Chains A and B, each alone.
Chain A
Amino acid sequence: MFDKLEQVKHLPISFGEIARYVIVPGDPNRVPIISELLDDVQHQGKNREFNAARGKYKGVDVSIVSTGIGCPSTAIAVEELIHIGAEVFIRIGTSGSVDGSAKKGDIFIATAAVRDDGTSKQYIPIEFPALADTEVVDSLIKASAALKVPTKVGVCQSKDSFFGEVEPERMPVAEYLDSKWKAWQKGSVGASEMEAATLFTLSSIFGAEAGGIFAVETSDKETIHKITKIVLESIYYMEKGVKSE
């Protein structure tokens, strides 16, 4: 894709300006909120929906880069981030609930994603599973337990149409959306969001590691901070190689 050492086209940052661990929220406005929990924060600028910051947590170098809404812009961010040196991605986001196991206010850790997106199919055929990395999932679960924050763990759905989820009845493909949704409910899908399938698929095929943690039907600052704390602790565990118990 890129020539070696070629500058990337969309991100506001380049080589030497990225940490190994990158927190990837969708919303560019969430980057400063997440960065409040880091030390030595450096705001690195913004281009389009890609807002970048970098700082430290317990001495570990951490980046935050927003992806924008949806898998198309997420794929661009992930490709360019890997190119400039990112290795581990943790998505922080908000989600809807699907089968009722995760309710409003719950925190959800994704082990895998339903590929109800268009982008990941332009990388690898649809039969391929969009999996979060085992070690990232394990670190998130362990960090939540250590912080005494209850979480739900399971499969999320990644869609392309936000209004197709919240107002399916007004869509020309209403019946199609409804029958699929019922299948996800019966199949134990816990949360619905818009970026994980492409983040997981691309990370897995390009040799990076990824995970995702979501606030279910809530997006207040307090909850985002609670999730950020879990993510930062999990990054600290991975960096220190703390073994799961």
Chain B
Amino acid sequence: MSKKDGVEEAIGGLLDAYDDDKEAVQYHVQLKKGDISDFVILPGDPGRVEFIAEHFDKAELVAENREYKTMTGEYKGRPVTVTSTGIGCPSTAIAIEELANVGASTFVRMGTSGAMQEYTRVGEKVIATGAVRYEGTSIQYMPIEFPAVASHDMVLALKDSAIKHNLDHHLGIVQSKDSFYGQHNPEKMPIADELRQKWEAWVKGGVLCSEMEAATIFVVGSYRKVRTGAVLLVAGDQARGESLTKEEYKAHMSDSVKMILDSSLDIEVEV
């Protein structure tokens, strides 16, 4: 294959995705219809996909390309899929668009976050009802005034599951940012004042924790008319200088997976 053919093939694949051709292999996630279930769990880290799939009753690797790794299987008879999004909203928007093209209708982000309130402590789970859109991707979909809101029925299903598993949890708003180090070292940044002012506003406004993907999942989800939710483990607390040990982290992540998998049983399977 000449270099020119390769480029044409790549562009052809891109156009297929643009055409919403459901039979086409999607350009970035490398998935086609039939590869995934309607219910998709979205971790950021591709290295976490296998760990999540270990909680399924059965699972197989269906695709792996760039930061997108996908495994599909079953939990208590319900088809489930896990796909990693990579860090940040740009790669996450691509994942949602392409997964929705090939049959996904429910997306639940599973990730980690930093505490923002006195009462959000490491080890607790935050079920996001909405997100602060402090990121650049969702504004290329919808004007900034539009609310990044999780689906009501998904929030309730996750809440019921958290209660059932007896997990310490909160319901509320999370902050989605683009710059990880802008949060952790704001004073180093040229726009330090803005970062600090906004952060203080979110804290005063009751925002529970900070992460990097939820806002785009909710906004793109509204536009694509799919169900969305997010469970964020509070893994660090800057103010207190607290974080989880490796063992604690793994146990808590396992709790998040179980909580999401049980919530999937409340969601009707869409073929």
Given contact pairs A115-B147, A128-B202, A129-B131, A134 touches B173 in the complex (Cβ within 8 A): no
Q: Select B201's contact among A112, A114, A125, beta carbons within 8 Å.
A: A125
Please choose the segment from A48-56, A165-173, A179-187 that sits at the chain B interface, where 4 or more of its residues have CB less than 8 A away: A179-187
Taken together as a complex, chains A and B put the C-alpha atoms of A143 and B131 apart, in Å, by: 27
Residues of B with C-beta under 8 A to A130: 147
Those of A112-154 within 8 Å (CB) of chain B: 112-116, 124-131, 134, 137-138, 141, 153
Residues of A with C-beta under 8 A to B133: 127, 129
Q: Select B145's contact among A115, A186, A204, A244, beta carbons within 8 Å.
A: A115
Residues of B with C-beta under 8 A to A112: 130, 147, 149
Most buried by B among A153, A205, A207: A205
Most buried by B among A180, A184, A188, A244: A188
Residues of A with C-beta under 8 A to B181: none
In the complex, what's the smallest C-beta–C-beta distance from A153 to chain B, in angstroms? 7
Residues of A with C-beta under 8 A to B171: 134
In the complex, what's the smallest C-beta–C-beta distance from B68 to chain A, in angstroms? 25
Taken together as a complex, chains A and B put the C-alpha atoms of A126 and B142 apart, in Å, by: 13
A95 within 8 A of B: no
B6 within 8 A of A: no
Residues of A with C-beta under 8 A to B206: 204-205, 207
Give the tally of cross-chain contacts (CB within 8 A).
87
Residues of B with C-beta under 8 A to A125: 198, 201
In the complex, what's the smallest C-beta–C-beta distance from B211 to chain A, in angstroms? 14
Structural contact, A111 and B152, CB atoms closer than 8 A: yes
Those of B213-261 within 8 Å (CB) of chain A: 215, 219, 222-223, 225
In the complex, what's the smallest C-beta–C-beta distance from A67 to chain B, in angstroms? 20
- In the complex, which residue of chain A has the Cβ closest to the Cβ of B146? A114
Residues of B with C-beta under 8 A to A188: 222-223, 225
Residues of B with C-beta under 8 A to A205: 204-206
Q: Select A128's contact among B141, B159, B205, beta carbons within 8 Å.
A: B205
Q: Select A244's contact among B144, B156, B201, B223, beta carbons within 8 Å.
A: B156
Structural contact, A134 and B134, CB atoms closer than 8 A: no
B129 within 8 A of A: yes
Given contact pairs A155-B222, A186-B223, A128 touches B132 in the complex (Cβ within 8 A): yes
Structural contact, B204 and A134, CB atoms closer than 8 A: no
Residues of A with C-beta under 8 A to B156: 134, 138, 244
Residues of B with C-beta under 8 A to A187: 141-142, 146, 219, 222-223
- In the complex, which residue of chain A has the Cβ closest to the Cβ of B141? A187
Structural contact, B130 and A131, CB atoms closer than 8 A: yes
Residues of A with C-beta under 8 A to B222: 155, 187-188
Residues of A with C-beta under 8 A to B134: 127
B77 within 8 A of A: no
Given contact pairs A127-B132, A127-B134, A155 touches B149 in the complex (Cβ within 8 A): yes
A-B residue pairs in contact (CB < 8 Å), sample of 8: A113-B147, A125-B201, A129-B148, A130-B147, A153-B152, A186-B223, A204-B206, A205-B204
Given contacts A114-B146, A205-B206, 15 further A-B contacts (CB under 8 A): A111-B152, A114-B147, A124-B202, A124-B204, A125-B201, A126-B144, A127-B133, A127-B134, A128-B173, A128-B202, A129-B149, A155-B147, A183-B146, A187-B219, A188-B223
The 3 A-B residue pairs with the shortest CB-CB distance in the complex, in nearest-first order: A129-B130, A112-B147, A129-B147
Q: Which chain A residues have a beta carbon within 8 Å of chain B's beta carbons?
A: 111-116, 124-131, 134, 137-138, 141, 153, 155, 180, 183-184, 186-189, 197, 204-205, 207, 244
